[in-house]
Amino acid sequence: MSLHRRILIADDDRDQRAGLVELMSGFDAEVLEAETGTEALTILRRWRFALALLDLHMPGCTGLDILTTVRQETLGVPCILLSGEANEIVRKSALQEGALAVLKKPFEPSALREEVRRALARGQDAA
């Protein structure tokens, strides 16, 4: 039986979003996209998601801001933060705000797929 689930990809770079959408094919999920942090929050508040992939730097609000809001509003969305600036400070902050993982761009596609598999399996265990 197929579980219908949604994945949100939030990144202000259109090419990055397109690449992430392609990487998410095969996960049996509807993929929605957001170009800004503000748009991502609106979408996250509207529907239930199995996972959100968040860029750190976006117009409106950052990936860290979104992580904080997801936690404060108990939206229950597992999140993975993606950033070219994923230094130890950013990594620690993101994990403290509830990120499941932090990946530094550019990352190996297989590394992202593995983190996504873990996150989705975790969500199925909680269901």
Q: In the chain, where are the structural domains located?
A: 6-122
- Which ranges in the chain belong to alpha helices (H)? 14-24, 37-46, 63-72, 88-96, 109-126
Q: Is 7 left (phi over 0), alpha (psi -120 to 50) or beta?
A: beta
| Range 68-85 average pLDDT | 94
| Range 53-80 average pLDDT | 96
User: pLDDT tens digit string along 34-66?
Assistant: 999 999 999 999 999 999 999 999 999 999 999
Instruction: Quote the pLDDT of residue 4.
Output: 72
Give Cα 11 to chain centroid, integer Å.
Answer: 9
Q: Please tell me the class of the 6-122 domain.
A: alpha beta
User: What would the two tokens of residue 23 be?
Assistant: 């990487």
pTM of the predicted model as reported, rounded to 2 decimal places:
0.93
Average pLDDT over the chain, rounded to whole? Answer: 92
Instruction: Quote the pLDDT of residue 86.
Output: 77
pLDDT at residue 124 tops 70: no
**Beta carbons of 69 and 52 less than 8 angstroms apart:** no
**pLDDT band, very low/low/confident/very high, at 127 (cuts 50, 70, 90):** very low
